Amino acid sequence: MGSSDRLFNRKKTVHQILGGGFVADVALWRQRNISTGIMIMGVSVWLVFERSGYTILSLSSSVLLLLITILFVWSKAASLLNRPAPPLPDLYLTEEMVAEAGEFARTQLNSLVSTCRNVALGKDSRLFVRVVACLLLIFAVGSLTDFVSLCYICLVLLLTIPVLYEKYEDQIDKKAIFVYRTVQQMCLKIEEYISMLRKLDLEKIQ
């Protein structure tokens, strides 16, 4: 399939679009254990918030308080009874993980800043319409759900849409391009109709 048959004439793969690193591997389920763990953790957190009525701040402080208290008592008891201390692993971020995350964040932020600048300067009317539509969609979704549920929905979408698109990208691209071209033709016809009405109005005025 040629590049012209791809949505937005893209030449990169889905993995490359997502950054090509650890984040892309997780989103496309190439790190199955990590992806599964994130999904299970997301579902668990959402259920806790929905059923218990906790807020993010209250739940975080309660969990940290309980964890620190358990580890503190365990450590003191272990020193008194000559037992081993709590088996805490040495957790640290490698330079590669930080570099990949930083590069992904830098790319996305630069793209966002460039988009905002083009919209603010009125360089792309279609882009302005898309941004307005996205903001209205976010407003509508935000008015229907809370922040935790919204984060959960975004997590589920992040872990399902990319992998499904990668699996069925040929079929999705064909249908999306057909819809896009149909809408584009309709917009052109509407523009022609509006320009024709303007000409008629000008002729009447003259």
pLDDT > 90: percent of the chain: 3
Is residue 166 within 8 Å of residue 15, measured between CB atoms? yes
Q: Residue type at 166?
A: E
Chain centroid to CA 163:
13
Q: Residues 128-146: pLDDT tens digits?
A: 788 788 888 878 877 777 7
Per-residue DSSP letter, 18: T
Cα 23 from Cα 3, distance rounded (Å): 25
Q: Residues 13-69: pLDDT tens digits?
A: 778 778 778 888 888 888 889 989 998 988 888 887 777 777 777 877 888 899 899
Q: What pLDDT sits at residue 69? A: 92
Q: Region 115-123: what's the mean pLDDT?
A: 78
Enter the tokens of residue 118: 């083009």
Q: What pLDDT sits at residue 206? A: 58
Where exactly are the structural domains of the chain? 3-167, 169-206
Cα 54 from Cα 46, distance rounded (Å): 11
Whether the predicted pLDDT of 1 surpasses 50: no
Enter the tokens of residue 159: 């872990």
Q: Coil, helix or strand for 145?
A: coil
pTM greater than 0.75 (yes/no):
no
Cα 118 from Cα 113, distance rounded (Å): 9
State the average pLDDT for the chain.
Answer: 81
Is residue 27 within 8 Å of residue 144, measured between CB atoms? no
Residue of higher predicted confidence among 120 and 165: 165
Mean pLDDT is lowest, of 55-64, 69-78, 107-116, 165-174, for 55-64
